Amino acid sequence: MVAGPELREPAVERLVAELQALPPGSLVPRDWILGRLADHPPTPGAPFPGPAPAVDLTVDDLATLFGKRPSTVRGWIERGDFPGAYKLHGKEWRVPPSALDAFQQAQRARRANPQAEAKADLSAWRAARRSLTGPHQDKRR
């Protein structure tokens, strides 16, 4: 449970304001947060981290971010959920930040309209079933 604004220390209050100014889904370096929470006030002209640097993420990074197992994340990548993901030296998967953004937007869209995906899956199933049975299907109704 987070304390109300009247119970927070000035350093925490300042940190909360700075974090709320960041775009949703931003990754903030741990050392920066610890520095902001230190008792001393920030040094004038100290750079604000802004968006995270554009570094491609590993499977372990994504697993930690989403609270999933690396095997689950690998399955998402192999399924094509992260457009632009690639294997570094043919071994380790890397995911560019743009692919992470695309994945998160797709997840938000799925949550906003869960019925659309179910209907699409059912349509695909019906189409596949029709193609397997062919035009001379025995209709007994």
Q: In this structure, which amino acid lies at residue 22?
A: L
For residue range 62-114, what is the model confidence (pLDDT) as tens digits?
A: 999 889 999 999 999 999 999 989 998 888 999 998 899 889 888 888 888 76
Q: State how far the Cα of 36 lies from the Cα of 55, in Å rounded to an integer.
A: 23
For residue range 114-138, what is the model confidence (pLDDT) as tens digits?
A: 665 566 666 777 777 676 666 655 5
pTM exceeds 0.75: no
Closest CA to 17 of 40, 34, 36, 35: 36
User: Residue 64: what are its φ and ψ, rounded to 5°?
Assistant: -65, -45
